[in-house]
Each structure stands twice: as structure tokens, then as C-alpha cells.
Amino acid sequence: MRNVLRMCLSAAFVWAAVSGSTASAQTNPWSVSFDIGAQVAVNGDVHSDGSGTVLGLPTQVTAKSYGDVYGTGFYWAAGLGYRVAEQGELRIRGSYTSNPAERLQVGTVAGLPLFGLFDDYEAFGMDLGYRQYLGRGRIQPFAGADVGFVRLETVTSEFSVPAAGVVLPDVGFLDSSVVPAFGFSGGVQVQLSDRLALQGGVDFRWHGDATDVDGLAGTGLEEINDETRRWSMPITGGVVVKF
């Protein structure tokens, strides 16, 4: 992963150096963008399958995806762009997503339903990328790619067996983590004037495994939170100001 990040960053800066003279001749090469939308879970599990013993009773846990636990969440991003060619742009972007969870059944304890409730999924990302515009008119489709990192907030959990009146609160699940990330994007930008545009787009984003916490140590379920990498799809719309 580190080698991939280095290669992508090197390619972006080489392109910027080669095309810098073109950018200097452009009007309003800088831009800032503000986008808001929704993040859709595409792939990845909050926890995997597992079997063990809780309170001396046989326990089965069924894998739950990010879509199962968190559904679709709020997403926003702010970016800074610099045109390195007439239709090429280097971009740095910060993003934030917040996805609340609802209580759901995650397995059974001695045949009785086992429910889990997780803290909100919160993530702040920073990335550097390149965007290629595919037209010169008022409506300009674009495609891009980026690499960076995501900071994930701590997630604790609560497990309960209502039929037996059992509640296990504040079970450590995921620690605060900074993980590698990359993504691909596509969309369209509509020019309203020399300085103002609207844009809409779809990203496909991946981030690595968060640091797991062995809050279930001694149950045989310690490994269900080891692999939490995911793919997500932010769908956004926003405004671009050029200067």
C-alpha cells in the first residue's frame, strides 16, 4: 500500500511540473469546492462470523456489513484545486462522514436472540488527487483518483440478550485509528460563470482495517473485529468558486 501511495503522489507531482507553464497562463487556476451528500456502504463488514461462549453459554455471531449496521450516512467534503493544465487539476480534499447505528440482532446466546448496538461511525479523511476534465464547454464531465488517509473514531458496543435480562455495556470494539485510503471518482461540472460552477459526482472509496480492541477477550469471539476495511460510495453535489 505504501508503494502505491508513493507512485501515485510521484506521478501527480511530475505531471504538475511538466504542465506548470500551461497553468500559469490560465485565468483563475485556483478553486475551492464545497460538497454535501450521502455515503452508501458498498462492501466490508463491521464484524465477521464467530462462535464462542458468553456467560458460560454457547454463542453464535453472524457477520454484519456496514450497510446492515450503519446504512447510509451523511457526508461532506471541502477541496482546494489548482489547474496544472487546461483540463487537468491537482486537488487536496478534506471529508467527514457520520453514520448512526441502530440496535440489531447479531447472533444468539443459547438459542436466544443476541442484540448489538454500536457507537456512530465517524471518519475524517484527507487526500491528494488528480482530476481530468473531459470537455471544454459549459458542461464538463470529469474523472479522477486520489490517495490519502482516514481517521476513524473509537467505537464501543453494547451487547444484550433481552429474553434473559442480560446487558453487557461499554464493550471495547474498535480503537481510534489512522488508516490508508484511496478512491476513484467521476461526475460533471456545470460552468455558471468564469468564477462559479456547480458539480455533482460519485466516488468509490476504500480504507484499511481499524485497530481492533479485544473487548470480547476470553469468549472465543476476539477475532470478529479484526478485518474492518471497507468500500463506500459517497454521492455528492456542491459548488465551486474559482480565483
The 10 Å Cβ neighbour count of residue 83 is 22
Q: Are 77 and 91 in contact (CB under 8 A)?
A: no
The 10 Å Cβ neighbour count of residue 46 is 27
Please count the structural domains in the chain. Answer: 1
Range name among 17-21, 81-85, 162-166 with the lowest pLDDT average: 17-21
Question: Which triple of cell numbers denotes residue 41?
Answer: 456502504
Question: Which triple of cell numbers denotes residue 55?
Answer: 456467560
Can you give the pTM of this predicted structure?
0.85
Q: Are 217 and 51 in contact (CB under 8 A)?
A: no
Specify the CATH number for the domain of residue 95: 2.40.160.20
pLDDT in tens, 118-170: 999 999 999 999 999 998 889 999 999 999 999 999 999 999 999 999 999 99
Query: 27 pLDDT exceeds 60?
Result: yes
Task: Sort 177 into a burial class: Cβ within 10 Å, 0-12 / 13-18 / 19+.
Answer: buried
Residues 6+ apart with CB under 8 A from 156: 118, 119, 170, 171, 172, 173, 215
Domain containing 27 equals: 2-242
Average pLDDT over residues 11-26: 43
- Cα–Cα distance measured from residue 236 to residue 106, given in angstroms and rounded to the nearest whole number: 31
Q: Are 72 and 238 in contact (CB under 8 A)?
A: no
- Whole-number average pLDDT of the chain: 90
Residues 6+ apart with CB under 8 A from 131: 81, 88, 89, 91, 142, 143, 144, 185
Residues 6+ apart with CB under 8 A from 239: 33, 34, 196, 197, 198, 199
pLDDT of residue 26: 60
Q: What is the dihedral of CA 130, 204, 119, 110, to 10 degrees?
A: -150
Query: 25 pLDDT exceeds 60?
Result: no
DSSP string, 100-140: ----EEEEEETTEEEEEEEPPEEEEEEEEEEEEE--SSSEE
